[in-house]
């Protein structure tokens, strides 16, 4: 939340209240934003008390407010019913969000849009996270421009509702959106977002580019394995190499889509031969249908069905299913081969560099992760393999703050 500091000792609010000294936002003198907060704090506290039900389960509000004086002697925040993940955001968080806006604190949005989900981070200019939210897919190459736009707006609206921040407070938007280049709709998506956030400067890029910058290292390589898959790396600011990221028709080896498709094909083959398959039974149970009905679901909606099969495969592999393990190990080999080609192109085989893994396929099954890591280690023994330093949506939000002129410094740590 917004970081507030007490002014010099002995300075008190003009209201004469002994409760709240005069407060100011660091850096706000540029805009002349100094004011007494005692009366405003009481008004905002009352406004919180009449808030209705909070956002749904996809909302993850920030856990560190940084707001001083939260004890009951300063504010008495009573709720009409207990705050739970299902019915409310804690009133003190809503209050802090409203105080942030009342002091002229600008806010930003960061997006990570993919083929299955869209993550959003709402951050103020002191780099305090106000909310994390999630909505559906926003890859325009897979779901279309209108659906991608709707998913971005939905995630943003959840974040704004969770924190009590109005859309007018959003000063900058940054996002890494999968499929943006392939669909050639970046300009259209920016123009569609502008009316929703009238005061915001909007910057959208593909997810590969923003993930590579998020490593914060040169040289580095990023391997993305989510609904789709791709590898990108750089050995200098000018030398960049890429593999994959072409979508399911041209191939997304090692992706959730690819693994799910191969699992369905293998299980269907067993069924046609009259062979029982534990993995196939798990897939049919998940979709509550037979093989004919599942094929009917796949034809118009493969982008939804195949990625949903992947967690079934990962769970079966962890439980010892040999078919599932073989599928995942093969997928890890294919993904590692893409990484190897990028490493070779950049001349990094014998160098020390960071190889970052991101996407929902990683971390779900040891058989997949171990095979991928061991294959990369054979080719690049000095590579440091690990996750990105932070989620892409959070990095995008930080990049948005960096675009502000003289953003407020977070003095709280």
**The predicted structure's pLDDT at residue 299:** 93
pLDDT above 60 (res 412): no
Helical pair 145-163 and 186-193, crossing angle rounded to 10 deg: 40
Q: What pLDDT sits at residue 23?
A: 24
pLDDT in tens, 140-157: 988 999 999 999 999 999
Q: What pLDDT shows up at residue 97?
A: 55
In this structure, what token pair is assigned to residue 59? 């909302």
The three-class DSSP label of residue 205 is strand
Peptide bond into 219 cis (omega under 30): yes
Q: Worst-scoring range by mean pLDDT, 32-46, 328-342, 369-383?
A: 32-46
Question: Average of pLDDT values for 298-315?
Answer: 94
Q: Which of 3-12, 194-203, 242-251, 279-288 has the lowest mean pLDDT?
A: 3-12
pLDDT digits (tens, 9 = 90+) for 382-395: 999 999 989 999 99
Say if pTM beats, i.e. exceeds, 0.75. no
User: How far, CA to CA in Å, does 177 sit from each of 111, 185, 186, 352?
Assistant: 7, 11, 9, 29
Q: What does each C-alpha distance from 273 to 12, 278, 293, 324 come to in angstroms? A: 83, 14, 18, 18
Q: Which pLDDT does position 381 carry in this prediction?
A: 97
pLDDT of residue 328: 97
**Higher model confidence: residue 6 or residue 327?**
327
What pLDDT is recorded for position 182?
75
Contact 306, 298 (CB under 8 A): yes
Q: Cα–Cα distance between 141 and 212 in angstroms, integer?
A: 21
* First and final C-alpha spacing in the chain: 12
Kindly list the distances between the CA atom of residue 17 and the CA atoms of 3, 222, 243, in Å, as whole numbers in the listed order.
21, 55, 63
Question: 129 or 88, which is more confident?
Answer: 129
pLDDT average, residue stretch 352-374: 95
Whether 324 has a pLDDT exceeding 70, the answer reads yes
Q: Does the pLDDT at position 90 exceed 90?
A: no
Smallest Cα–Cα separation from 248: which of 393, 117, 143, 395? 143
pLDDT in tens, 221-254: 999 999 999 999 999 999 999 999 888 888 899 9
Lowest mean pLDDT among 97-106, 185-194, 200-209: 97-106
What is the rounded average pLDDT for all residues in the chain?
79
**Tens digits of residue pLDDT in 1-25:** 333 333 333 333 333 332 222 222 2
What confidence category does residue 67 fall into, taking pLDDT thresholds of 50, 70 and 90? very low
Q: Locate the DSSP E strands across 90-145.
A: 107-113, 118-124, 129-135
């Amino acid at each position: 939340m917004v970081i507030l500091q007490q002014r010099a000792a002995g300075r008190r609010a003009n209201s004469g209240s002994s409760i709240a000294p005069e407060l100011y936002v660091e850096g706000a003198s540029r805009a002349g934003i100094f004011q007494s907060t005692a009366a405003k704090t009481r008004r905002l506290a009352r406004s919180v008390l009449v808030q209705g039900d909070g956002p749904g389960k996809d909302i993850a509000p920030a856990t560190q407010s940084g707001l001083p004086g939260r004890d009951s002697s300063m504010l008495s925040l009573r709720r009409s019913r207990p705050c739970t993940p299902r019915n409310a955001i804690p009133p003190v968080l809503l209050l802090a969000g409203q105080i942030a806006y009342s002091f002229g604190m600008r806010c930003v949005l960061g997006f990570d849009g993919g083929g299955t989900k869209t993550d959003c981070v709402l951050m103020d200019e002191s780099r305090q996270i106000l909310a994390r939210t999630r909505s559906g897919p926003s890859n325009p190459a897979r779901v279309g421009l209108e659906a991608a736009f709707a998913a971005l707006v939905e995630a943003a609206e959840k974040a704004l509702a969770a924190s009590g921040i109005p859309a007018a407070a959003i000063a900058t938007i940054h996002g890494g959106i999968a499929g943006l280049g392939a669909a050639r709709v970046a300009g259209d998506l920016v123009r569609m977002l502008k009316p929703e956030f009238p005061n915001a400067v909007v910057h959208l890029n593909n997810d590969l580019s923003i993930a590579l910058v998020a490593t914060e290292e040169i040289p580095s390589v990023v391997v993305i394995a989510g609904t789709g898959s791709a590898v990108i790396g750089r050995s200098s600011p000018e030398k960049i190499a890429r593999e994959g990221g072409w979508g399911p028709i041209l191939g997304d080896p090692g992706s959730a889509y690819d693994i799910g498709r191969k699992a369905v094909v293998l299980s269907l083959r067993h069924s046609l031969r009259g062979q029982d398959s534990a993995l196939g039974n798990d897939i049919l149970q998940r979709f509550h249908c037979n093989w004919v009905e599942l094929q009917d679901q796949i034809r118009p909606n493969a982008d939804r069905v195949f990625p949903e099969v992947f967690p079934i495969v990962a769970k079966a592999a962890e439980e010892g299913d040999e078919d599932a393990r073989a599928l995942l190990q093969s997928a890890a080999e294919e993904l590692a081969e893409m990484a190897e080609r990028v490493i070779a192109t950049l001349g990094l085989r014998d160098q020390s560099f960071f190889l970052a893994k991101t996407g929902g396929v990683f971390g779900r099954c040891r058989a997949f992760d171990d095979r991928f890591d061991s294959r990369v280690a054979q080719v690049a023994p000095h590579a440091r393999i690990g996750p990105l330093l932070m989620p892409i949506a959070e990095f995008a939000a930080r990049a948005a703050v960096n675009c502000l002129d003289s953003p407020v410094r977070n003095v709280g740590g």
